[in-house]
Structure 1
Amino acid sequence: MFNGKFLTPCFKSKQPWKRLLSTQPSVVLAMSGGVDSSVSAALLKQQGYKVQGVYMRNWDSLDEVGHCTSKADWEDVQKVCSILDIECSQVDFVKEYWNNVFEKTLTDYAQGVTPNPDIGCNSFIKFGSLLDKIPEGTWFATGHYCRTNNGKLLRGLERNKDQSYYLSTVPEAALRRTLFPLGEIESKVKVKQLATDFGLLDIAKKKESMGICFVGQKRKFASFLQEYIDQPPGPVIDLDSGKVIGQHEGLYGYTIGQASRICHGSHKWFVADKLLDQNKLVCVAGSNHPALFSDTLVAKNWTWIHHQIPTLPVQVDAQVRYRQSPEKAILSQTPDGQYALRFTHPIRAIARGQQVVVWDQDWCLGGGVIDAVL
């Protein structure tokens, strides 16, 4: 029996997640209201599972300009589950999300680094608080594009949508309990076609969410952070000349490698560094300035997903961002226990706080938080 607090049970489920005496294997599916988790629900039911959908409520305040889509997404989850004739419930993780993900995100931005809250949400909420409430013997499932094999995390066949990067901190024990129904599907187009075939026409046409719920769909991230982080404006410095070329609105609102929105001369200026102790933003002219490239980084808080840790140093495929082609690099351990990666070719815009993730071909080994760029 699920031992968590539910906000809203749905349809015929008076006791959500209670395992029925049945020969059907049970699976609890994390549902978002989007096409990926909806098709996952249909596929699991088609494969003979007793599917129970759950929608996680992680945020509870309205956005000033747009709004968090949580209410509409929950309504879509209920519609999908009604069409598929499966049970669903909503569970509240607002407190857990605030304490374990949101506050850390704010702290990181205030300290001048660039975190990835999606990785934190998977680690602490979806594969943490949520999975902890699912009884042993019941499968867990998500709509991520990835695969597993004996606890190993593998890239999804749809390489353009592969999401193993976001699961690089999920431990092997959790992966052994998890199903990824979309892992073997080779294209997003096929997923949308399946949604139509399963009678989920509205979901098939639904626009894919690209933002973070607590920011809202129509709002700039920097303006959102301004409400929580008190940092004064300061000078913008041209790295090459050392001259002041403008003023920034708070260092938290800038990411290494991004266009700075600074108007000075005929150049387009890009962020090369943030000097927190001096409250200075350092920029360079042009998106391919040499200062934006580096071939070495050091990472902390490293997670090895599987117990088969490779002998170091070792050549791996590595990514410092989700939307990046894998690059060859040599992974080694530093004398103080951190991990260093030296890339074969310099990588653009490596930022402290980002997650670097490594693979052995399709096998995701794990990753860590970038602590230094050399």
Structure 2
Amino acid sequence: MSGGVDSSVSAALLKQQGFRVQGIYMRNWDTADERGVCTSAEDWEDVQRVCFKLDIPCEQVDFVKEYWTDVFQQTLDDYAAGLTPNPDVMCNQYIKFGSLISKVPVDAWFATGHYCRTYDGRLLRGKDRNKDQSYYLSTVPEDALRRTMFPLGEFESKTQVKNLAEQLGLHVAAKRESMGICFVGQRRRFADFLAEYIDQPPGPAVDLQGNVIGQHRGLFGYTIGQASHICHGPHKWCVAEKDVPNNTLICVPGSNHPALFHSACTARNWVWIHPSTALEGEKLVDAQVRYRQSPQKAILSKQGDRYTVRFLEPVRAMARGQQVVVWDGDWCLGGGVIDTIESAFPSP
């Protein structure tokens, strides 16, 4: 339980169904936000209030060390190397469905408030396509999924969940949805937050011809495809590439410049949720390189120890370090970390 409406309603539904329910709150981060407020303490208080209302026990477990080692330090290393990591995927793989589930008795079910479904150990998209979170669970192994329940998977909208929370008299019904990096929370200026941990100097921002158009504040603070906020002439400059060895940010004019579109990627550290389905040839799949992206048709093939995902239509703003995830219909097969990308419109 996170202290939010999703996990709170999940606990309530399980109790209504006759299960003996116990809430577990993970303490993974122990510093205050910009207001000087320890959000972890606030969330733990919300969990306790909900559990008191539902008349179920709850406990707090501490994974601060594990989160720092397995998730946050890797996230910092990736940003420093010019990558675009996904700490939420890593948190689910190593913390929630790793360190935490290992503490759950083997004869007990594990449940979370994710918007997804399971069937015979398969991970399926949630009914609410806008909230479907199977992307974030694409590295969770089959043995963990076989003992996991997702009570919100059949709900068709977040509004239904909030309305149910109000009907149940849960005070978290009106609580704002948590955003930002997993367990660190939303930061007013994420680049400034990263700058507390990554020592990287400013450097030149250039166009595709190498002409200097301004200065960046540190490559870690920029994401491929996003506005660079570097002013130079009448154009809106978007980030196309990060040249880490030369500490240079490469930008293009306009948000739909051809250099922002890619046709394929290779992925490392690939995880098949069901090892028995591991691909040897080629397969037509639905693929996403970010959460809430519309699924795109692609050809998945194995290339040595990596997998290639070749999209049938160009995809905007792929970045090294992102997680590419593939589905067969609603069935999430797995995914990997993008290692290389291929431009859809190569320069002449």
Give the 3 Å change call, closer, same or farther, for CA 373–68 of structure 1 in structure 2: farther
- Greater Cα shift, 363-372 or 210-219: 210-219
How many angstroms does 1:215 deviate by? 4.7
How many angstroms does 1:65 deviate by? 4.6
Contact 2:235 2:254 in 1 (8 A): yes
Q: Which residue is 1:282 aligned to?
A: 250
- TM-score normalised by L of structure 2: 0.96
Could you list the runs of 5+ residues in structure 2 that have no partner in the other structure? 343-348
Q: Equivalent residue of 1:106, what SS?
A: helix
Q: Which of the residues 300, 312, 330 maps onto 2:299?
A: 330
Q: Which residue is 1:58 aligned to?
A: 28
Q: Which residue is 1:252 aligned to?
A: 220
Contact 2:34 2:187 in 1 (8 A): no
Q: Equivalent residue of 1:160, what SS?
A: coil
Contact 1:67 1:217 in 2 (8 A): no
1:76-95 map, 5 Å: 76-95=46-65
Q: Which of the residues 8, 15, 36 maps onto 2:6?
A: 36
State the distance in 2 between where 1:323 and 1:67 align: 30
How many angstroms does 1:167 deviate by? 0.2
Q: Which residue is 1:301 aligned to?
A: 269
State the distance in 1 between where 2:224 and 2:40 align: 30
What's the CA shift string for 1:58-85, capped at 9, x where partnerless? 0111234564521111111011001110
Contact 1:68 1:213 in 2 (8 A): no
What's the CA shift string for 1:61-112, capped at 9, x where partnerless? 1234564521111111011001110010111000000110010000000000
How many angstroms does 1:135 deviate by? 1.2
Could you list the runs of 5+ residues in structure 1 that have no partner in the other structure? 1-30
Contact 2:271 2:336 in 1 (8 A): yes
1:84-233 map, 5 Å: 84-200=54-170, 202-212=171-181, 215-233=184-202
Q: Which residue is 1:27 aligned to?
A: none
- Equivalent AA in structure 2 for residue 326 of structure 1: P
- Equivalent AA in structure 2 for residue 309 of structure 1: A
Could you tell me the percent identity over the aligned residues? 70
Q: Does 1:345 align with 2:324?
A: no
Give the 3 Å change call, closer, same or farther, for CA 292–304 of structure 1 in structure 2: same
Contact 1:165 1:357 in 2 (8 A): yes
Q: Which residue is 2:203 aligned to?
A: 234
Q: Which residue is 2:345 aligned to?
A: none
CA RMSD of aligned residues (A): 1.2
How many angstroms does 1:263 deviate by? 0.4
Contact 1:251 1:281 in 2 (8 A): yes
Contact 1:147 1:156 in 2 (8 A): yes
Contact 1:317 1:361 in 2 (8 A): yes
State the distance in 2 between where 1:122 and 1:90 align: 18
How many angstroms does 1:287 deviate by? 0.1
- TM-score normalised by L of structure 1: 0.89
- Equivalent AA in structure 1 for residue 231 of structure 2: C
Q: Does 1:291 align with 2:259?
A: yes
State the distance in 2 between where 1:125 and 1:141 align: 14
Q: Equivalent residue of 1:261, what SS?
A: coil
How many angstroms does 1:191 deviate by? 0.5
State the distance in 2 between where 1:271 and 1:205 align: 37
Contact 1:59 1:213 in 2 (8 A): no
Paired residues, what number? 341
Q: Equivalent residue of 1:263, what SS?
A: coil
Contact 2:7 2:113 in 1 (8 A): yes
Q: Which residue is 2:331 aligned to?
A: 363
Give the 3 Å change call, closer, same or farther, for CA 105–218 of structure 1 in structure 2: closer
Q: Which residue is 1:262 aligned to?
A: 230
State the distance in 1 between where 2:341 and 2:297 align: 17
How many angstroms does 1:220 deviate by? 1.1
